[in-house]
Amino acid sequence: MPTLSGTTARACSRRQALTLAALTLAGCAAAPRTDAPASVPAARPREAAPPHPRRAARPLVRPPRLRPGDTVGLFASASRLAEDWIATAVANTEALGLRPRLAPNVRAVHGHYAGSVQQRVDGLHALWFDPQVRALWSIRGGAGSAQLLPHLDYAAMRRDPKPLLGFSDVTALHLALLRHARLTSFHTIAGSSTLTPFSAQVLQAVLMQPRPEQRLPVSPEHVLRAETDPAYRGRTVRGGSAEGPLTGGNLSVLSALVGTPFGVQTEGALLFLEDVGELPYRIDRMLTQLELAGLLQPAAALVGGIFRDCENPPGEDGMPLAQAIDERFGAAGVPAVYGMSFGHVRDQLTLPLGVRARLDAGTRTLTLLEAAVE
């Protein structure tokens, strides 16, 4: 029997964990507690959907802004943590002028995870309902955050809104908070990520220095990397512009939640997606799943981040990543871009879910149209 490489084995393990989480959620009976090239085609005109009765959506709740000296809770909702990750998260919090507080389970071990489901739920709740804690920051992703979703107190979290920060596996928490608490959370670097000047500046601008309108920059480092690495080469997939609330996250996690009570809702939204370590045919398969589930066409626009390490290995045949992205994004018929500065990369934007933004696909610019915090 052939042996798997380390990268392939890790990807398989990750996919198995995501599949198991999706099956668990789908079977859960209890509801939660409460400047484009001329060859680039323009987006097709959208026909208005016929009116139909619908319960009015609850208003979006934006959490209070962060201020220097605020206490930030560092939590572990997914994979078990190494001590150096905890130390890095503490140092990054302090470098931003904030005070760190660790969740009770950050050193817990339960197989692959940072404690049992109950320990991780209790750890998240403990920080959220601590009146001294003003925000929560995921130390790392990994796998397992989806297991918490049926057990979170969304009603209480909405009554006491706080910014929740993270990405990758924390996509599950972002989508659940938006859908069941109608609460803005923030797709941004993890606490143990490298805190680059770019990432720190954008995070502080969005969370601590909000403005009514704010254009999100492209990382200069990514522009340089694009000269040698195709994964960083930004492009317009389909021209046009669109406005709508931001939603999205990691493609693997997001697609695993389709069909559960916590799946992404894309109608009229700017859907942003990224991934890492997935071969192009798997990216194509997951995007096809979203297409068949009716989740790409209703979106106002598609915003691709950087899909790092998602090309075929040298010497192996198969579609390139650009083909998978361009065909599936293009088929949606809406403005679409690839290569914005977010994903499993050093420099990252901070993207507030639920907050209205505008994408100009021709110039590949993304602008927040309202403040993300109060």
Among 125, 174, 222, 344, the active-site one is 344
Among 125, 274, 278, 341, the active-site one is 274
The CA distance from 176 to 171, in Å, is: 9
151 assigned to active site: no
Yes or no: say if 3 and 237 are a contact pair by the CB < 8 Å rule.
Answer: no
Among 168, 185, 199, 255, the active-site one is 168
Yes or no: say if 61 and 109 are a contact pair by the CB < 8 Å rule.
Answer: no
168 assigned to active site: yes
The CA distance from 208 to 197, in Å, is: 15
b/e per residue 256-281 (b: at least 16 CB within 10 A): bbbebbbbbebebbbbbbbbbbbbbe
Yes or no: say if 268 and 244 are a contact pair by the CB < 8 Å rule.
Answer: yes
The CA distance from 317 to 263, in Å, is: 33
The CA distance from 139 to 189, in Å, is: 9
125 assigned to active site: no
The two structure tokens encoding residue 149: 């979703």
Amino acid at 242: A
Q: Please give the order of strands across the beta sheet that includes 301-304.
A: 214-216, 365-368, 356-360, 241-250, 270-274, 301-304, 336-338, 235-238
Which residues are catalytically annotated? Answer: 168, 274, 344
